[in-house]
Amino acid sequence: MFQLGVYNKALTRKAITGLRYKSTSQPLTWIEYFKLKKQSNRINMVSGIFTGLGGALITLNYLGNIEIDPEKPIMGFDPLMVMGGVVGLGAFVGYLAGPTIGTIAFKLINKSKLQQFELKNSEFLTRLIKNRPDPSYQSFSNPIPDYYGEKIYSLKDYGQWLRDCNAFRRKAKEFL
């Protein structure tokens, strides 16, 4: 029984070191992380535009195939206005579905770097949480700078964000 436990420890240690030596990829740098973050955002935006157009076209195609009396109001509104609103609603729902498709596409494109990207992303978000100022001190004349860090796409942007956060803290302390 004791021998089996020693064997399992040796086996797991060997398996872990084997995995460590098999991974030949370099760790993801911050510059590469920010490039991937920008790529992810762009893919999500473009897919949102295409799915929004697709949603509008599908809704327009459906509404074009049903028979509506143009002289009879729908819930008290002009039928053409209602149809335009429904096409706009279809485009909006399609746009909301876009980032889901974009995320799937991003994961397929960057399959080899995805695990490292997720680790860097969690580290980045931890840094944001640690360095962001308290939003309860914001006012109309002193808005909080980019609370979620959505506009940070480079080390330069991150440094500027840190400076903006420090300026916010300083203004909040001086004027309260």
Residue 56, domain member (yes or no): yes
> Using 50, 70 and 90 to split pLDDT, how confident is the model at 24?
low
Residue 172, domain member (yes or no): no
Asked if the model's pLDDT at residue 17 lies above 80, the reply is no
pTM value is 0.74
Domain containing 79 equals 25-111
Residue 92, domain member (yes or no): yes
Residue 30, domain member (yes or no): yes
> Using 50, 70 and 90 to split pLDDT, how confident is the model at 176?
low
Task: Annotate 110-149 with b (16+ C-beta within 10 A) or e (fewer).
Answer: eeeeeebbeebeeebeeebeeebbeeeebeeeeebbbeeb
Residue 15, domain member (yes or no): no
- Quote the pLDDT of residue 72: 84
When divided into structural domains, the chain yields a total of: 1
Q: What is the mean pLDDT of residues 61-88?
A: 87
Asked if the model's pLDDT at residue 15 lies above 50, the reply is no
Q: Which of 142, 143, 146 is nearest to 161 (CA)?
A: 146
Residue 45, domain member (yes or no): yes
Residue 16, domain member (yes or no): no
